[in-house]
């Protein structure tokens, strides 16, 4: 007993040191992944704003219709193989070879299919040349079969520094190519060249950092990830369709010009949200790691804290919405009129959606993909019905409102399912979500008061952001005060250990 007591302080110190190393390694990976996401998209948005000064909405609309086809095709070509490889305990050369062969075959089939049905696709989207342009744009996926194995190996080894280098370098090079094409007079091909160069460069850099040599063997060993990949593909395709079904509706109702305006607004509104959601998801809801715990009370407390922590993030998008309502007076003029109004509508909806972000992450961690897929299908149907009914009479604004309302309906459905999963009453589960609504209301009132004080736009922006900062400080204070620090610390250590041990967790 005396010996045990003597060793206890040393064992406790070693455990604390080990926990600190685990958390440091975990957040280093998160940091590099965040840099890859935000750095690449910051460059991308800068290039986008430059291109809007030289290209017409029709050009952006045609390319947006093309991307709708290419994105769904890319989901099929990738076929969930990246997730399938990452999910394995170890990645063999046989599995990489099988993934490359399957992806190559799918690429050839999709490319030929789009080539044969190019005119049909263009007529279906009601955008001239979208099908032919999609076939050319698919050339950007030419090296994806080789890079899938390398990408999976890099993620498996937690080498997110290499991933950040590949992402940022490819975005920077492709942006320079796009701007060069525009100022050389090749305006129609600038966006296609940007997409192709970005994907080819990224594939080359990934393969260069994790090269591998093909190895052939039994079909069972080469395609051992096929079943898991197929399940992932169905979910990915549904998610991709739910995120881009508005492109189909707008292109069919308003043509290339209307789609161009809508696509720019959606890109400026949704990119910050998606990247913030990605980083928050990595920290609070790591993929492939179950949130089950032997202590049910601790599990529920941990999940509740993670869900509640999203509530005070969402008002950021209210600030963006109020400011973007006047963005046209600062940047967009003439042919781009209407972009600011669309951004403001989308950001308000995304602000409320952000508070519900944890629900799908929780269902995915629990393996309840059927409920998640049902919610996505529900959102697609509701959006399609609302947009078809309202858009002919109220224009692009109605499509933005339909998008927001359909996603809020999806969030409400997921909240009910998630509350049942945690064995919590819906009232208790939804109570923390009142916080973003109160914050939204207070910021909105501040904005209205300041706007009617007859001050300049720059002074209004500064005053509003100061008011928003004050509200954020109050929210952050109450949030940090309510944190059960011991429970969160144990959760982070357990998740980080699992991620670093198994070598996966982010996508």
**DSSP secondary structure string, 66-119?**
HHHHHHHHHHHHHTTHHHHHHTSSS--HHHHHHHHHHHHHHHHHHHHHHHHTHH
Residue 459 domain flag: yes
C-alpha pair distances (Å), 12 with each of 9, 16, 17, 354, 497: 5, 6, 9, 39, 17
Residue 331 domain flag: yes
- What is the predicted pLDDT for the residue at 289? 39
C-alpha pair distances (Å), 81 with each of 36, 234, 277, 336: 21, 12, 23, 40
Sorted by sequence, the CB contacts under 8 Å of residue 502 that are 6+ apart come out as 89, 288
C-alpha pair distances (Å), 163 with each of 90, 170, 197, 207, 276: 19, 11, 17, 11, 18
- What is the predicted pLDDT for the residue at 266? 81
3-state secondary structure labels for all residues of 315-380: HHHHHHHHHHCCHHHHCCCHHHCCHHHHHHHHHHHHHHHHHCCHHHHHHHHCCCHHHHHHHHHHHH
Q: What confidence category does residue 218 fall into, taking pLDDT thresholds of 50, 70 and 90? A: low
Mean pLDDT of 140-150: 86
Sorted by sequence, the CB contacts under 8 Å of residue 122 that are 6+ apart come out as 128, 129, 130, 131, 132
Residue 439 has pLDDT above 60, yes or no: no
Residues 251 and 322 in one domain: no
Residue 446 has pLDDT above 80, yes or no: no
Mean pLDDT of 167-177: 89
Q: What confidence category does residue 157 fall into, taking pLDDT thresholds of 50, 70 and 90? A: confident
Among 265, 247, 246, smallest CA distance to 64 is for: 247
Mean pLDDT of 181-188: 82
- What is the predicted pLDDT for the residue at 41? 75
Residue 8 domain flag: no
Residue 2 has pLDDT above 50, yes or no: no
- Over residues 246-260, the pLDDT tens digits come to 888 888 888 888 888
Out of 253, 276, 299, a domain closes at 276
Mean pLDDT of 143-166: 82
Residue 345 domain flag: yes
Residue 298 has pLDDT above 70, yes or no: no
Residues 266 and 341 in one domain: no
- Over residues 482-491, the pLDDT tens digits come to 545 555 455 4
Number of structural domains the chain divides into? 2
Residue 359 domain flag: yes
Q: What is the DSSP letter of 496?
A: H
Residues 264 and 397 in one domain: no
Out of 276, 298, 315, a domain closes at 276
User: pTM of the predicted model, to two decimals?
Assistant: 0.73
Q: What confidence category does residue 268 fall into, taking pLDDT thresholds of 50, 70 and 90? A: confident
Torsion of CA 354, 358, 364, 367, to 10 degrees: -150
- What is the predicted pLDDT for the residue at 161? 80
Strands (E), 384-493: none
Residues 343 and 246 in one domain: no
- What is the predicted pLDDT for the residue at 301? 44
Residues 310 and 453 in one domain: yes
Residues 80 and 224 in one domain: yes
Residue 72 has pLDDT above 70, yes or no: yes
Residues 261 and 310 in one domain: no
Asked if 127 and 259 touch (Cβ cutoff 8 Å), the reply is yes
Residue 376 has pLDDT above 80, yes or no: no
Sorted by sequence, the CB contacts under 8 Å of residue 71 that are 6+ apart come out as 240, 244
Residues 187 and 325 in one domain: no
Higher-scoring residue by pLDDT: 299, 143:
143
Residues 144 and 196 in one domain: yes
Mean pLDDT of 12-30: 60
Residue 1 domain flag: no
Residue 159 has pLDDT above 60, yes or no: yes
Residues 89 and 36 in one domain: yes
Residue 5 domain flag: no
Residues 485 and 385 in one domain: yes
CA 122, CA 66: separation in Å to the nearest integer?
Answer: 9
Residues 301 and 254 in one domain: no
- What is the predicted pLDDT for the residue at 197? 92
Asked if 160 and 37 touch (Cβ cutoff 8 Å), the reply is no
In which domain, by residue range, is 79 found? 25-276
Out of 219, 249, 276, a domain closes at 276
Task: Read off φ and ψ for residue 220, nearest 5 degrees.
Answer: -60, -40
Highest mean pLDDT among 14-23, 260-269, 344-353: 260-269
Among 1, 120, 19, smallest CA distance to 69 is for: 120
Element (H, E) at 175: helix 160-183
Residue 120 domain flag: yes
Q: What confidence category does residue 10 fall into, taking pLDDT thresholds of 50, 70 and 90? A: very low
Pull the structure tokens for residue 491: 């959760």
Give the up-direction half-sphere exposure of residue 281: CA atoms within 13 A in the CB hemisphere. Answer: 24
Which range, of 135-139, 154-158, 160-164, 314-318, averages the lowest pLDDT? 314-318
- Over residues 397-412, the pLDDT tens digits come to 888 888 878 877 777 7
The percent of residues in the chain predicted with pLDDT above 90, rounded, is 1
Mean pLDDT of 193-207: 90
CA 99, CA 229: separation in Å to the nearest integer?
Answer: 10
DSSP string of 10-39, one letter each residue: HHHHHHHHHHHHHHHHHHHHHHHHHHHHHH
Q: Which residues of 128-159 are buried (b: 16+ CB within 10 A; e: fewer)?
A: bbbbbbbbbbbebbebbbbbbbbbbbbbbebb
Q: Residue 6 burial (CB < 10 Å; 0-12/13-18/19+)?
A: exposed
Phi-psi region of 425 (alpha: psi -120 to 50; beta: other; left: phi over 0): beta
Among 108, 110, 35, smallest CA distance to 70 is for: 110
Helix residue spans in 184-225 (DSSP H): 187-209, 219-222
């Amino acid at each position: 007993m005396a010996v045990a007591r003597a060793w206890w302080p040393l064992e406790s110190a070693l455990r604390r040191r080990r926990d600190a190393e685990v958390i440091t390694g975990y957040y280093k990976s998160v940091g590099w992944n965040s840099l890859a996401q935000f750095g690449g998209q910051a460059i991308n948005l800068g290039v986008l704003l430059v291109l809007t000064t030289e290209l017409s909405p029709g050009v952006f609309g045609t390319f947006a219709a093309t991307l709708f086809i290419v994105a769904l095709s890319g989901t099929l070509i990738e076929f969930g193989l990246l997730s399938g490889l990452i999910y394995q305990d170890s990645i063999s050369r046989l599995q990489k070879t099988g993934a490359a062969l399957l992806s190559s075959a799918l690429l050839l089939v999709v490319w030929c299919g789009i080539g044969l049905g190019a005119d049909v696709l263009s007529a279906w989207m009601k955008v001239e040349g979208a099908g032919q342009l999609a076939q050319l744009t698919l050339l950007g996926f030419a090296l994806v079969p080789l890079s899938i194995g390398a990408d999976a190996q890099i993620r498996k080894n937690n080498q997110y520094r290499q991933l950040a280098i590949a992402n940022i370098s490819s975005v920077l090079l492709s942006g320079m190519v796009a701007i060069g094409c525009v100022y050389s007079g090749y305006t129609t091909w600038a966006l296609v060249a940007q997409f192709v160069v970005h994907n080819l460069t990224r594939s080359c850099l990934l393969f260069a950092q994790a090269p591998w040599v093909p190895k052939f063997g039994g079909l069972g060993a080469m395609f051992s990830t096929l079943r898991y990949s197929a399940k992932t593909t169905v979910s990915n395709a549904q998610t991709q369709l739910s995120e881009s079904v508005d492109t189909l509706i707008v292109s069919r109702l308003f043509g290339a010009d209307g789609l161009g305006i809508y696509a720019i607004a959606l890109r400026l509104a949704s990119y910050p949200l998606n990247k913030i959601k990605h980083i928050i998801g990595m920290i609070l809801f790591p993929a492939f790691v179950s949130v089950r715990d032997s202590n049910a009370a601790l599990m529920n407390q941990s999940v509740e804290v993670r869900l509640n922590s999203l509530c005070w993030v969402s008002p950021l998008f209210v600030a963006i919405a109020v400011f973007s309502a006047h963005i046209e007076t600062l940047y967009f003029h003439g042919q781009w009129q209407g972009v600011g109004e669309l951004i403001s509508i989308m950001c308000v909806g995304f602000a409320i959606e952000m508070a519900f972000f944890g629900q799908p992450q929780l269902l995915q961690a629990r393996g309840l993909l059927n409920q998640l897929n049902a919610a996505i299908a529900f959102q697609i149907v509701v959006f399609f019905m609302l947009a078809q009914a309202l858009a002919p009479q109220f224009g692009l604004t109605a499509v933005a409102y339909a998008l927001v309302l359909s996603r809020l309906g999806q969030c409400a459905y997921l909240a009910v399912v998630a509350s049942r999963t945690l064995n919590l009453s819906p009232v208790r589960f939804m109570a923390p979500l009142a916080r973003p609504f109160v914050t939204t209301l207070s910021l909105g009132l501040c904005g209205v008061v300041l706007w009617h004080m007859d001050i300049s736009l720059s002074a209004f922006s500064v005053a509003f952001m100061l008011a928003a900062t004050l509200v954020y400080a109050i929210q952050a204070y109450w949030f940090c005060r309510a944190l059960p620090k011991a429970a969160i610390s144990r959760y982070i250590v357990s998740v980080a250990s699992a991620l670093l041990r198994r070598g996966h967790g982010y996508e």
